[in-house]
Amino acid sequence: MHRTNLYLTEEQEKALDARARSAGLSRSALVRSMIDRELARPLPIEGEVEEALRLLADSYHEVTGALFDDDPDLRIDR
């Protein structure tokens, strides 16, 4: 592991220590677990991908049509 210095506000430090106490962790262990969780989150959706999602949504019903009509578990009961 590498040692890293970082600046925290007083409020952040108090909140972090309170959370660490309730979780039974050291401040460092808690910060590492928070960083792991944050890094595991997917990246924000970029503009052209967002636009592709909108285009897919626009034609979704037209394209999927009767795709699920023969599936008793997944069809819409019409």
Partner 1 sequence: MIIVDDKLALEALGGRLDPSTPEPVATTWCFHYRLMRALRDETRWGALSGSVTTEARRVAADPPESRLRVLNPRLITDAAADLAVQYDLNLLAAELLAAARRHRAVVRLSAPNVGRRWPEVMAAEGIALVVV
**Is 11 or 46 the residue whose CB approaches partner 1 more closely?**
46
Token pair of 78 as six digits:
């019409």
Class of residue 27 by CB neighbours under 10 A (exposed 0-12, middle 13-18, buried 19+): middle
Using alpha carbons, select from 52, 78, 54, 53 the residue that is nearest to residue 65: 78
Which window, 2-10, 12-20, 30-38, 45-53, contacts partner 1 (CB under 8 A)?
45-53
Which 55-74 residues touch partner 1, going by CB under 8 A? Answer: 55-57, 59-61, 63-64, 67-68, 72-74
Binding site for partner 1 (CB under 8 A): 41-42, 44-45, 48-57, 59-61, 63-64, 67-68, 72-78
